Structure 1
């Protein structure tokens, strides 16, 4: 049991697999941090797009703006930033596929689709998940019926700073936290102690660490350049000492039990263990 655990980072990713940004505080909702991964890019078959297949998505940065956010291309100054509101309107709808789920989505404007197609050099559409859509956390680990946005499977990902420091001590070239796209980062304690957590609070907001987060090739993509590490780190190194059931585990998949507001600096209190 460790003391002095503190929330040291809060991150939003308004569009799945595009860049994210840090915020000093954020609201907790039924399906994650407010505004997190509510937008998604889909291809011409309306299937979700991620950096796994399209590493160049890392070149699309996202910055906060009034009532929305701005998307820019790191290597295309000729493309003026695209403003996207936090919420879409139901004027145009379609069904999209994400993993094994089908979800009803609202489309962005034709101008947004054109901007994205120009930025990526291929047809694509930008779509939004409304509050009326129900997408459940994976059922085998979800007796409470928790919801998730367009995130892979869970509404929150939690990582400890000590875990990243331990991993970086094993790498020839350290990597930043953005390789792992957490929502919640905590300081204090020892590396990987969250493997054993069950229920915990951040401030007064309750959460549950459901299972470890299995990592993929996205961790090998430099988020500044979209270039993959040719030797496969940090994923290759994680497999040498964090392998469970043929997955490289790093961080925790987390669900929430209610609403509330988180602030960087909030105390993290562990209530029960697995």
Structure 2
């Protein structure tokens, strides 16, 4: 088994950036989900409400954020120096209270104009601690959904695509790490620990999928697949029925991983 894709999503729910190598920190890939868009009242926004977010392509080095708009002929790219020295404001993420450093009017106006909805850009505060739900694991994360890493399998996607009239690419599932070389599709369901290059990753739970997987990441159009097909054979029951694809997890050792690194099953 080897790593075939690495992706970072610096601006939550916007397009990802493909990497050849990724620095893994205790909170996932460095800068992953470090920035987020919220409504004026502080409620986080995603492709569930604004599918056009898929068309925003951010590049972020930890200090400077550049975002390419869907139509560069109509709107100039955003070039923004991220501020961490401003007061943090109250925000909500999945109905839970959190904090974010508001990035000011210029950034808010740019995103509001491009997306057609009022919104503001916030950055994860340096002094804010967001803990993983203790039912799942012990650790921290930024604005990721539940755990710092999402690992998917090329074999699982290939099997899903045999059931679809129109195949979908892996970017529908927004993974951080894609692994190829499993013996069977969805073999990752039964895996607890992997060594990926020089780091160890714990796969904690299957990733429950929402309507975002039905958003074409190249056009922003929303359809009915692949969620409808997945629901027919990939629904599990925990506290409620969930359609699952991939596994969420967290790193137990920091380090750097690269496309092409070997992946070893530990447990």
TM-score range, shorter chain: over 0.9
- CA–CA separation in structure 1 for the residues paired with 2:218 and 2:231: 24
Matched, 1:97 2:92: yes
Aligned partners of 1:59 and 1:75 also within 8 Å: no
Residue 9 (str. 1) matches residue 2 (str. 2): no
| 2:29 paired residue number | 33
TM-score, with structure 1 as normaliser: 0.91
Deviation at 1:68, TM superposition (A): 3.5
Give 1:233's match in structure 2, choosing from 225, 234, 244.
225
Alignment partner for residue 201 of structure 1, among 195, 199, 203?
195
Q: Which runs of 5+ in 1 are unaligned?
A: none
Q: 1:223 aligns with which of 201, 214, 217?
A: 217
* Number of aligned residue pairs: 263
Take 2:11 and 2:62, find their aligned partners in 1: how far apart are those partners?
A: 16
Secondary structure of the corresponding residue to residue 5 of structure 2: strand
CA separation of 1:182/1:84 partners in 2, compared to 1, >3 Å: closer, same or farther? farther
Matched, 1:50 2:50: no
Quick check: 1:24–1:263 contact (8 Å CA) kept in 2?
Answer: yes
Which runs of structure 1 show a deviation greater than 3 angstroms over 4 or more consecutive aligned residues? Answer: 63-69
C-alpha distance in 1 between matches for 2:142 and 2:28: 7
Matched residue, 1:83: 79
CA contact (8 A) 2:26 2:250 kept: no
Q: Secondary structure at the match of 1:11?
A: strand
Deviation at 1:67, TM superposition (A): 5.1
1:63 shift after superposition = 3.7
User: Given the two structures, how large is their TM-score scaled by the length of structure 2?
Assistant: 0.94
**Whole-angstrom CA distance in 1 between matches of 2:86 and 2:211:** 36
- Assess if the C-alpha contact under 8 Å between 2:31 and 2:62 holds in 1: no
Three-state SS of the structure 2 residue aligned to 1:164 is helix
Query: Aligned-pair RMSD on alpha carbons?
Result: 1.6
> SS of the counterpart of 1:117?
helix
